[in-house]
């Protein structure tokens, strides 16, 4: 009775009789200032909006490739929307700002929407703003991990095993991210072109290995590769588009077979295909197109319809060319204050204290902070961001996310030493991006200049 149709990226449409649950919708709005979905959305969102009260939404977390504000405005304001019980209200604030009123949270106890029982499981040691979800219907189970490809904690594994046991492993499917979701290593200056390709392949291999192992440890054989289908458009950087990995079922099964447990089967599921837990019904196009053709056609479509021009580095800017040095220093001071407060309250990634971050404007103007201390003079930092004044001004003005410099490839990075990732710095960079944006919006609203 339950079936699942792959829409694109992290979006699937789960159906039980005449009730539908859509996960992580993303249409044509650039995410992180440079990402566009490739594959494109297989069904026009107007058809989904026409389902009205038959449709509910699950938004795993607040990133733009999982939560498309423009698309959400299509749906009835009473559409049921569920997300995890995050301490930060980023998802709920976005939903409410759009005007949607029927927002609810799922925790490990779960929330029921029609035939769907939805539970969320977080690993706050890895992320404070993302979760794994179990979606149970009267006859099947979908585990929606989105970006949570890391090894399951013993607690989450036990909880998910209990969910699997309700209908049995043959009536379960495990969906996990199988591609890089950040600029590393392609926008890092530490590595040459050959090293970047090797590092990217190794990174993706690790994600596939861990994700499929998670499925195997739950006794689930059905695995869907997803959450990695986006193309990156940064002006003057065609290699970001050319060198990225397109983790289709064909590529994953052929290129990474040795990394996948024998008990796990990567489902041959393309956009428009439906999995009913007994088999796959292909879309009306079948396999008449190949991976390279759809990627090329998607890029051409986005170019012809002006979607690439909406990406950060392609947009014409009306920013003044005044010096922003003081503003960058002030930004870093506030970032440091946020880090100190967050570490003190949540104890998340305290290893960031004592580490340094530099923002280098136009290759020459360096601004540095030591977390826990404040502004410092540093000629070599643990993490360095090389960005144009124009793009940094857009960040300061709230027109582009701080995270877009990294996840969106809008800046180049360097790490010292070159073999140390500094996940703590990057996690806080992502979190502070939304804090800064909210601060800018609040200041704009207070001045009466809301756009």
Structural domain contains residue 309: no
**Cα distance between residue 331 and residue 83, in whole Å:** 30
The Cα–Cα gap between 315 and 153 comes to: 43
Say which range, 24-33, 384-393, 442-451, has the weakest mean pLDDT: 442-451
Instruction: Assess whether 110 and 243 both reside in one domain.
Output: yes
Domain match, 136 and 233 both: yes
Q: Is the residue at 423 inside a domain? A: yes
Residue 314 inside a domain? The answer is: no
Return the SS3 of 251: helix
In terms of domains, do 297 and 377 share one? Answer: no
Q: Tell me: do 354 and 410 sit in the same domain.
A: yes
pLDDT of residue 13: 98
pLDDT at 451 over 50: no
Any idea what the CATH number is for the domain that residue 131 is in?
Answer: 3.60.15.10
Residue finishing a domain among 243, 269, 304: 304
Question: Based on the domain organization, do 248 and 356 belong to the same domain?
Answer: no
Among 304, 339, 370, the domain-final residue is 304
Question: How does residue 369 score in pLDDT terms, banded at 50, 70 and 90?
Answer: very high
Residues whose CB falls within 8 Å of the CB of residue 413, separated by 6 or more in sequence, listed in order: 183, 184, 187, 188, 189, 383, 384, 385, 386, 406
Distance CA 203, CA 228 (A): 13
Q: Does residue 449 have a pLDDT over 70?
A: no
Q: Is residue 311 part of a domain?
A: no
Give the closest residue to 30 by CA, choosing from 378, 356, 407: 407
Nearest to 273 by CA among 256, 254, 289: 289
Percentage with pLDDT > 90 across the chain: 92
Domain check: are 424 and 341 in the same one? Answer: yes
> Which residues form the domain of 340?
325-447
Interatomic CA distance for residues 173 and 256, integer angstroms: 20
**Of 274, 304, 334, which residue sits at a domain end?**
304
- Note whether residue 32 is domain-resident: yes
Q: What is the pLDDT of residues 263-309, one digit of tens each?
A: 999 999 999 999 999 999 999 999 999 999 999 999 999 999 999 99
For residues 448 and 18, which has the higher predicted lDDT (pLDDT)?
Answer: 18
Query: pLDDT (tens digit, 9 = 90+) per residue, 138-194?
Result: 999 999 999 999 999 999 999 999 999 999 999 999 999 999 999 999 999 999 999
110 and 27, same domain (yes or no):
yes
The total number of structural domains in the chain stands at 2
99 lies in the same domain as 229: yes
Distance separating alpha carbons of residues 45 and 72, to the nearest angstrom: 9
Dist CA 222 CA 403 (whole Å): 33
| Res 28 pLDDT > 90 | yes
Same domain, residue pair 331 and 247: no
Q: How sure is the predictor about 135, in pLDDT bands with cuts at 50, 70 and 90?
A: very high
Q: What's the rounded mean pLDDT across residues 209-223?
A: 98
Whether residue 267 sits in one domain with residue 189: yes
pLDDT tens-digit readout, 30-79: 999 999 999 999 999 999 999 999 999 999 999 999 999 999 999 999 99
State the chain's mean pLDDT as an integer: 95
pLDDT digits (tens, 9 = 90+) for 387-419: 999 999 999 999 999 999 999 999 999 999 999
Rounded to whole angstroms, the Cα distance separating 428 from 325 reads: 22
CATH of the domain at 390: 3.30.1050
- Is position 218 within any domain? yes
- Asked if omega into 112 is within 30° of 0 (cis), the reply is no
Mark whether 222 and 272 lie in a shared domain.
Answer: yes
pLDDT at 128: 84
Q: What pLDDT is recorded for position 328?
A: 98
> Could you count the other beta carbons within 10 Å of the beta carbon of residue 405?
28
Residue 220 lies in a domain: yes
Taking residues 96-123, report their average pLDDT: 96
Per-residue model confidence (pLDDT) at position 322 = 73
| Strand 35-37, strand 19-23: pairing | unpaired
Question: 266 and 368: one domain?
Answer: no
Q: Is residue 310 part of a domain?
A: no
Phi, psi of 325 (to 5 degrees): -60, -45
């Amino acid at each position: 009775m339950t079936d699942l149709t792959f829409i694109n990226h992290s979006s699937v449409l789960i159906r039980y009789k005449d009730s539908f649950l859509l996960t992580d919708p993303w249409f044509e709005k650039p995410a992180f200032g440079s990402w566009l979905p490739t594959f494109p959305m297989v069904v026009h969102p107007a058809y989904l909006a026409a389902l009205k009260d038959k449709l509910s939404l699950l938004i795993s977390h607040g990133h733009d490739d999982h939560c498309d504000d423009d698309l959400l405005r299509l749906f009835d304001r009473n559409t049921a929307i569920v997300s995890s019980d995050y301490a930060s209200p980023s998802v709920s604030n976005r939903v409410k700002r759009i005007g949607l009123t029927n927002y609810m949270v799922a925790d490990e106890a779960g929330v029921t929407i029609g035939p769907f029982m939805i539970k969320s499981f977080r690993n706050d040691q890895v992320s404070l703003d993302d979760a794994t979800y179990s979606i149970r219907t009267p006859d099947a189970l979908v585990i929606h991990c989105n970006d949570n490809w890391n090894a399951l904690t013993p607690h989450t594994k036990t909880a998910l095993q209990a969910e699997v046991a309700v209908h049995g492993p043959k009536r379960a499917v495990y969906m996990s991210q199988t591609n890089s979701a950040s600029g590393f290593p392609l926008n890092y200056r530490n590595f040459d072109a050959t090293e970047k390709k090797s590092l990217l392949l190794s990174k993706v291999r690790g994600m596939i290995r861990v994700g499929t192992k998670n499925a195997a440890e739950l006794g689930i054989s059905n695995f869907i590769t997803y959450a990695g289908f986006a193309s990156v458009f940064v002006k003057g950087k065609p290699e970001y588009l050319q060198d990225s990995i397109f983790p289709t079922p064909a590529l994953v099964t052929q290129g990474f077979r040795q990394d996948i447990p024998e008990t796990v089967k990567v489902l041959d599921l393309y956009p428009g295909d439906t999995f009913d837990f007994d088999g796959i019904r292909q879309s009306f196009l079948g396999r008449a197109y190949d991976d390279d053709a759809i990627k090329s056609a998607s890029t051409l479509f986005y170019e012809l319809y002006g979607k690439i021009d909406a990406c950060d580095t392609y947009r014409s800017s009306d920013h003044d060319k005044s010096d922003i040095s003081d503003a960058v220093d002030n930004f870093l001071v506030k970032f440091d204050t946020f880090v100190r407060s967050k570490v003190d309250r949540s104890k998340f990634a305290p290893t960031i204290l004592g580490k340094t971050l530099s923002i280098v404007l136009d290759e020459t103007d360096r601004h540095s902070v030591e977390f826990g201390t404040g502004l410092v003079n540093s000629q070599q930092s643990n993490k360095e961001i090389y960005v144009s004044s124009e793009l940094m001004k857009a960040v300061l003005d709230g027109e582009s996310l701080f995270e877009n410099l990294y996840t969106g490839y809008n800046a180049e990075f360097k790490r010292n030493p070159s073999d140390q990732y500094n996940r703590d710095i990057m996690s806080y960079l992502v979190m502070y991006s939304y804090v800064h944006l909210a601060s800018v919006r609040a200041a704009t609203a207070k001045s009466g200049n809301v756009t």
